[in-house]
Amino acid sequence: MAIFDEELARLKEKILEMGALVENSIKDAIKSLIEKDDKLALEVIQKDHIVNALDVEIDEECIRLIALRQPKAGDLRFITTAMKIITDLERMGDLAANIAERALELNKEPNLKPYVDIPRMRDIAHGMTRDALDAFVNKDKRLAMDVIMRDDEIDDLKHAIVSELLFLMLENPNIICRAMRITFIAQYLERFADHATNIAEMVIFLVEGKMIRHTTIPE
Amino acid sequence: MAIFDEELARLKEKILEMGALVENSIKDAIKSLIEKDDKLALEVIQKDHIVNALDVEIDEECIRLIALRQPKAGDLRFITTAMKIITDLERMGDLAANIAERALELNKEPNLKPYVDIPRMRDIAHGMTRDALDAFVNKDKRLAMDVIMRDDEIDDLKHAIVSELLFLMLENPNIICRAMRITFIAQYLERFADHATNIAEMVIFLVEGKMIRHTTIPE
């Protein structure tokens, strides 16, 4: 069914477009922090409604495709997975806006120290998001597995950031407020990457029909 | 179609069952913290796989219902919403396990002070979850709106907890580690309630066909 194939291709494009917006938001949010750029931070917060609108638009299109085309198992699961993925992307947009809000607060005060691990977290989270979506549209299980592996790096970096900030707070309690805000940013980045990991897990479920998080026995 | 109605009723029951498990997890996780009960904390962590298994089971059932029964618009949207809601519930189960992990760490040390706001957050988050799911199965828009309103109380309590801990840390830097862990627990509870709010928003979208988060202009 040629029309349905075209519709699916357009759906993939729309999801990649939504993904690109979210990827830009996280980049700009961290840039607004590092360069103390309030204008850019406000832009990130204001632009979040575009991501929200795409969430609704794509959701509607998915419902329309299921109702109208009555897709078979594989295509049906692809579309329902798309509906879940855009929910993750929408929340990733919220997290980018949260980072921009903390940046606006932090920009008012002198830096504690140059940001080193935060931009690293951003780079990894950004790459994970792009690859998770590429894995989805190409049903690429290997790439999805690779995204999941990278989540450990994010967790390690977050722990390193929190430990370093704890040390700085112990040395100088006057910086506790600023240090807490940076801790929150590290957590937002961790959650952002968690969503990318969730997307990658859903891709594996889509391709393999089994849940990645069930392949490990609970501790 | 009587069989389909029965299937939908069973789907609702399964979702409420999953919800009840998640509600118990969050209650037990906080109890394990307050009563310094390591055994209970470990139980919460171990039981998370039951919630994960229900996520897969219900997801499969939803796909089966769509493929087999080809439901019309209203029922179709109900089922796709169910698929998103169980994703939220699964992640709420993870957050309860995260709280139990922090409880295991905190239980090794003396309490900073009696927990007052944390159990309040738990009670509100617990009620929000139960009501969001009730709103879903009964398509009760008013109850869903009520859940969304309560999210502000959660945010206020979290801010109160973080502010108080900041004050305690400034007074006595030796407690920074413990205070940070309690801050994380407050954040997990906030995220838990965020998921309940997300579920309530989806219920409103289901009933009204419009996104609640789009009714406010971005700041």
Give A157-207 pLDDT, tens digit per residue. Answer: 999 999 899 889 888 888 988 998 999 999 999 999 999 999 999 999 999
| Cβ atoms of A103 and A29 closer than 8 Å | yes
Count of helices and strands (H, E) across chain B: 6, 0
* Predicted-complex ipTM score: 0.88
Residues, chain A: 219
Sorted by where each begins, the domain ranges of chain B are 2-214
- pLDDT tens track for B86-111: 999 999 999 999 999 999 999 999 99
- Asked if A84 is an interface residue toward chain B (Cβ–Cβ < 8 A), one would say yes
Best CA proximity match to A219, nearest among B196, B97, B163, B90? B97
- pLDDT tens track for A82-138: 999 999 999 999 999 999 999 999 999 999 888 999 999 999 999 999 999 999 999
- Asked if A75 is an interface residue toward chain B (Cβ–Cβ < 8 A), one would say no
CB contact under 8 A, A169 and B176: yes
Radius of gyration of chain A (CA): 19
3-state helix, strand, coil in chain B (%, to 5): 85, 0, 15
**What is the C-alpha separation between B131 and B146, in angstroms, rounded?**
9
pLDDT bucket at A218, cuts 50 / 70 / 90: very low
**What is the C-alpha separation between B1 and A131, in angstroms, rounded?**
43
- Facing A219 at nearest CB: one of B45, B180, B191: B45
Best CA proximity match to A136, nearest among A7, A2, A19, A1? A19
Token representation of residue A87: 């929910």
**What is the C-alpha separation between B191 and B20, in angstroms, rounded?**
18
Residues A152-176 as b or e (16 or more Cβ within 10 Å = b) = eebeebbeebbebbbebbeeebebb
- Asked if B68 is an interface residue toward chain A (Cβ–Cβ < 8 A), one would say no
Mean pLDDT along residues A74-86: 96
Write the burial class of residue A12 (CB in 10 Å: 0-12 exposed, 13-18 middle, 19+ buried). Answer: middle
Residue B215 has pLDDT above 70, yes or no: no
- Asked if B212 is an interface residue toward chain A (Cβ–Cβ < 8 A), one would say no
| Cβ atoms of B119 and B185 closer than 8 Å | no
Contacts of A189 in chain B (CB under 8 A): none
Select the residue from B80, B190, B191, B194 to test the A interface by mutation, using most A Cβ atoms within 10 A.
B80
Return the pLDDT at A51. Answer: 97
Return the pLDDT at A173. Answer: 84
Whether the full predicted model's pTM is greater than 0.95, yes or no, is no
| Cβ atoms of B153 and B124 closer than 8 Å | yes
Which fold does the domain A2-214 belong to in CATH?
Methane Monooxygenase Hydroxylase; Chain G, domain 1 (1.20.58)
Question: What one-letter code names the amino acid at A171?
Answer: E
